Amino acid sequence: MRRMPPEILGEMFKAALDPDDMYHIPQLVISICLVCKAWRDAAIGTPELWNKLQLSSKIRGRPICFTKVGTWFSRSGTLPRYLHLNIPRACKIFGVHPATCDMLTSGLNMSAARRPWDSLQSLDVTVTHNGYHESQRSYVDEVIPNLPLVTIFHLQEIGYDRYDPVPSRLPMLADFFNNITDIHVGDWPLSWMKTLLPLCKNLYSLTLDYVAQVGDDVGDGPSQLIVLQHLHLFRIRSSAYLDEARVLPLLFRMPSLKELEIEFESVGSTEMCDHDELRAELAQFLEASNASPSHLQMSYISITADGLRGLLSKIPSLTHLTFHDVTFDAAAFDFPAPLVSNAPDSLFLPCLEILECFRLPKEFSHATVCSYFARRIPLVSSSALKRLTMELATGENPRRAATSMNTLREAGADVLIYTRHARGY
């Protein structure tokens, strides 16, 4: 392997490393460099090995050496750099040491030929609830005004109460939030969201992660509406209550929405609540927003066949549909023949190109789903199904849909149907 061209070695090194495992990447790269000079030269000449670092406040008892951090990043060429610092009680650094913001936004003041990183674009702040509620509540007022201007902002695990008053300085942070295109907040009271989101004029992606229970304080007057004109991606995650989903038609308008992800709290498939009533709220939200999303992803939901069909029939624009641990009956796709008389626009999911179903319930009739998409091929030649992936429960037989699967494959679809512990047919 030492005689291989450095370009080939570099590709092998990239393939061997997990890009999401930022914590272990440095040691693995160092180990590669210690093998021999040829490997070291190949590694140094591979920018993708040097653009990510995740460091704790102290490594083996020694403080972080930012000079070495700069040297590391200097080998990453023009790639974006990712630096994750795990520093307990570090949030107040921005308030106590404002120069930190200058360092992050301008790059480290070093003698290197070029800055070790460009201006900061993303900031992920995780605040652990420590029991001192008053100090947590003052976080927004004390820290956010001192943060650098970024385009991506994640703020999680605050642990506020829904009755906490809106931080006094939040409405005055228009410059900070107007610059943001991607925001991810967790456990914020609804009253705070009503103040925060109108400040985000250029928001492209919004993730609400376990929103505090909204109670009866939503309101439905025109003054309550939050119009996110440019939003393309909206996620609601880790919710244990329907209230958060029901906020949608009452609070938000998202006319440019293209991707919608709804994920309820995973409580085990045998204990799932029936979320059939969610259909009306989502349908009302999409209709009121005049939105035409192309991708819908639902996770940890139980819904009847009629409920699912009623919801999906309201979103004919869908080209990509993903279910993960969703309990539903395949009867939602059970239509008598003929489906319709040469009217593709009136078909169920007329534009769907990708269907992904992971962790399907036991005795799910995958043959019914395959049959529907196989029978409609003559009516949707321009938008026929291109990919079908289904993960069946252990013990199910993928071959029960063999005829329809072959029909789909002959039409050019990529079909993969398998059981939990076997990659499939």
Q: Is residue 139's pLDDT more than 70?
A: no
* pLDDT over 70 at 308, yes or no: yes
Tell me which H or E stretch contains 369. Answer: helix 366-375
Mean pLDDT of all residues in 152-168: 63
pLDDT surpassing 50 at residue 270: no
Q: What pLDDT score does 222 carry?
A: 45
Strands 82-86 and 62-63: unpaired
In angstroms, the Cα distances linking 213 to 47, 246, 250, 366 are: 45, 11, 15, 37
386 against 236, higher pLDDT:
386
CA 229/CA 247 separation, integer angstroms: 18
Rounded to 10 degrees, the C-alpha dihedral 144/265/82/257 comes to -80
pLDDT given at position 306: 84
Identify which of 13-17, 142-146, 206-210, 380-384 has the greatest average pLDDT.
13-17
Residues with Cβ within 8 Å of 383's Cβ and at least 6 positions away in sequence, in order, are 319, 350, 351, 352, 353
Instruction: Give the start-to-end residue ranges of the domains of the chain.
Output: 329-425
Each residue of 343-367: b (16+ CB within 10 Å) or e?
Answer: ebeebbbbbbbbbbbebbbeebbbb
Write down the pLDDT at residue 386. Answer: 93
Give the model's pLDDT for residue 221.
45
pLDDT at 423 over 80: no
370-389 burial: b if 16+ Cβ within 10 Å, else e: bbbbbebbebbeeebbbebb
Dihedral over alpha carbons 314, 316, 322, 323 (to 10 degrees): 30
Number of alpha helices (DSSP H) and beta strands (DSSP E) in the chain: 15, 17
Asked whether residue 154 carries a pLDDT value surpassing 50, the answer given is: yes
* Higher pLDDT, residue 416 or 171: 416
Higher pLDDT, 389 or 102: 389
Q: Between β-strands 62-63 and 58-59, what pairing exists: parallel, antiparallel or unpaired?
A: antiparallel
In contact, 77 and 115? CB cutoff 8 Å = no
Q: Which residue has the higher pLDDT, 372 or 157?
A: 372
- 29: number of Cβ within 10 Å: 20
Which pLDDT tens digit goes with each residue over 315-326?
999 999 999 998
Q: 115: which strand partners? A: none
Q: What is the mean pLDDT of the chain?
A: 75
CA–CA gap between residue 16 and residue 286 (Å, rounded) = 43
Question: Which residues, listed in sequence order, are joined to residue 236 by a DSSP beta bridge?
Answer: 208, 262
Instruction: Give the mean pLDDT of 66-81.
Output: 79
pLDDT given at position 244? 54
d(CA 215, CA 205): 25
Q: 172-186, 239-253, 338-352: which has the highest mean pLDDT?
A: 172-186
> Is residue 128 very low, low, confident or very high in pLDDT (cuts 50, 70, 90)?
low
- The rounded distance, in Å, linking the Cα atoms of 420 and 287 is 37
Residue range 279-300: mean pLDDT, rounded? 88
Under DSSP, is residue 315 helix (H, G, I), strand (E, B) or coil? coil
Res 112: pLDDT: 41
User: Of 29-43, 210-224, 240-254, which gets the smallest average pLDDT?
Assistant: 210-224
Taking only Cα atoms into account, the Rg of the chain, rounded to an integer number of angstroms, comes to 25
Cα 105 to Cα 93: distance, rounded to the nearest angstrom: 15
Residue listed under structure tokens 């998409």: 373
* pTM exceeds 0.75: no
pLDDT over 70 percentage in the chain: 63
User: Of 277, 281, 280, nearest to 252 (Cα)?
Assistant: 281
